Amino acid sequence: MKHSDTPAKKALGQHFLHDRHAIDRIVGIIPEGARILEIGPGPGALTRPLLARAGALAVIEKDDRFASQWRANTLAGAPLSVFHDDVMQILPQAVAEFQPQWIAGNLPYNISGPLTALLAGLELSGGMVLMYQKEVAQRICAAPGSKVYGGLSVLVRHHYEPSMLLTLAPGAFSPPPKVHSAVVLLTPHRHPAPCPYRALQKTVRHGFLHRRKTIGNNFRQQLDAAQWQNLGISPRLRPEQLDYAAWARLAGWLNEQV
């Protein structure tokens, strides 16, 4: 795979993947004939093999240069839909219009946290395969009790089970980032959601605001000892010690009080 002749934009967090093994692993996870939405196609290292594999493919591209390139492909007859906008703004509309089964992408590292929080609220039938800075990927996949377990670790488990697919050295990209990268697979667990996703987001954001404090201290205005006992949560635990089920019970209870 040749590097793109179009230079990456640092402001957009662009690092173009060119490692053939990684491309094959990412694309190979997705079943043939699936409806796929790709975030940030750039010059198309993933896009072209995805287009060959997909039943239908849509891309979200903010960069005017690449959006124009992919629009030209659609005019040439390629079965491709193009959303030319900031992914943080257009994602809900793109998902509603295109109805993807899978989402894939080498996510812009500078917005990967808030973008993952947005993606985690989407309930897809297939799943997601997403590229991250390795440290972010480790946080997403972390188990309760881990030092890197945090808000994203909880949010992705609302609809999915996260797992690390592979890690990549900087040389797999052009230009090479200063950090290692990793691909995360989000597989739907299909359990009924025990609370609204927005309620979980709000609760997790508040709960992890002061990581060193106990969960009882962080929510001392909202719950008393009896209420903690009814929820089956020890108020003496710190935020990173609560598993998804505990966070969901807490979020559901707080949501009912509003």
Model pLDDT for residues 11-40, shown as the tens digit of each residue: 444 567 888 999 999 999 999 999 999 999
Mean pLDDT across the stretch 191-209? 96
Last residue of a domain, one of 188, 219, 237: 188
d(CA 172, CA 164): 17
Same structural domain for residues 183 and 238? no
When the pLDDT of each residue in the chain is averaged and rounded to a whole number, the result is 91
Q: Do 216 and 144 lie in a common domain?
A: no
Query: Does 151 score more than 90 pLDDT?
Result: yes
User: 29 or 65: whose pLDDT is higher?
Assistant: 29
In a domain, 5, yes or no: no
Q: Are residues 113 and 45 in the same domain?
A: yes
Query: Given 138, 158, 188, which residue is the final one in a domain?
Result: 188
Give the CATH number for residue 213: 1.10.8.100
Predicted local distance difference test score (pLDDT) of residue 207: 96
Which residue range is the domain that position 239 belongs to? 197-257
Residue 1 falls within a domain, yes or no? Answer: no
Q: What is the rounded CA–CA span in Å between residue 177 and residue 72?
A: 29
What is the average pLDDT across 147-166? 97
What predicted TM-score, i.e. pTM, was given to this entire model?
0.91
- If one counts every other C-beta atom within 10 angstroms of the C-beta of residue 31, the result is 13
Is there a domain that residue 2 lies in? no
In a shared domain, residues 60 and 162 = yes
The 10s digit of each residue's pLDDT in 67-121 is 998 888 775 566 799 999 999 999 999 999 999 999 999 898 889 999 999 999 9
39 and 167 part of one domain: yes
Phi, psi (deg, nearest 5) at residue 26: -65, -50
Is the pLDDT higher at 144 or at 79? 144
Q: What is the CATH number of the domain that holds 38?
A: 3.40.50.150
% of residues, the chain, pLDDT over 70: 92
Same domain, 167 and 122: yes
Name the domain count of the chain. Answer: 2
Residue 163 lies inside a defined structural domain of this protein: yes
Instruction: Based on the fold, state whether residues 149 and 81 are members of the same structural domain.
Output: yes
User: Does one domain contain both 102 and 212?
Assistant: no
Same domain, 159 and 215: no
Residue-wise pLDDT tens digits, 32-49: 999 999 999 988 899 999
> Does residue 38 sit in the same domain as residue 154?
yes
**6-10, 165-169, 234-238: the lowest-pLDDT one:** 6-10
Of 3 and 249, the one with more pLDDT: 249
The pLDDT of residue 1 is above 60: no
Regarding whether 230 and 172 lie in a shared domain, the answer is no
Q: Which residue has the higher pLDDT, 5 or 80?
A: 80
Q: Write the DSSP string, 37-84.
A: EEE--TT-TTHHHHHHH-SEEEEE---HHHHHHHHHHHHTT-SEEEE-
